[in-house]
Amino acid sequence: MAKVLALVDERRVARFGKPGQIPGDWDVVYGLYMTDEERLAAAWDADYLYTISVVEVSAKLINGMPKLKLIQAEGVGFDKIDLEAANARKIPVCNCAGTNAGAVAEQTVMLI
C-alpha cells in the first residue's frame, strides 16, 4: 500500500477525478489546508507528494518525510517546490509540462 500526501482540495478530486483513479488500497491524506507541522503529523511516512502549483512545498516538509520517493506538481509550474531540498535527497520533481500548450496557442490566435 502506498501513502500520498495530496496538497489539493479533496472536493476538486471528487468532482474531476475518475472512479478508480486512485487505487483503493492507497492511503491519501488531503493536506491543502494544513500547516507543515500538521502535514508531517498526518503524513510523515508518505511515499508520494502530489501538489498544485500554487502551494509551497518547503524544505522542512520534504526533509520531514523520510520515505518520500516523488513530488508531482499537477500543473506546469513548480516554482513553489524547494528544488534544492528535493535534489539533496535525490527525490524526482515532476510537472505536467505542455499540458496547456494547445489552449495557450488557441488563446493567442484568438487575441490576435
pLDDT (mean) for 55-68: 97
pLDDT at 12 over 90: no
Cα torsion angle, 88, 42, 46, 19, sign: negative
pLDDT tens sequence across 41-50 = 999 999 999 9
Average pLDDT over every residue of 1-15: 90
Is pLDDT at 100 greater than 80 in this prediction?
A: no
Confidence of residue 72 (pLDDT cuts 50, 70, 90): very high
Report the distance separating Cα 50 and Cα 5, nearest Å. Answer: 6
Q: For residue 40, is pLDDT > 90?
A: yes
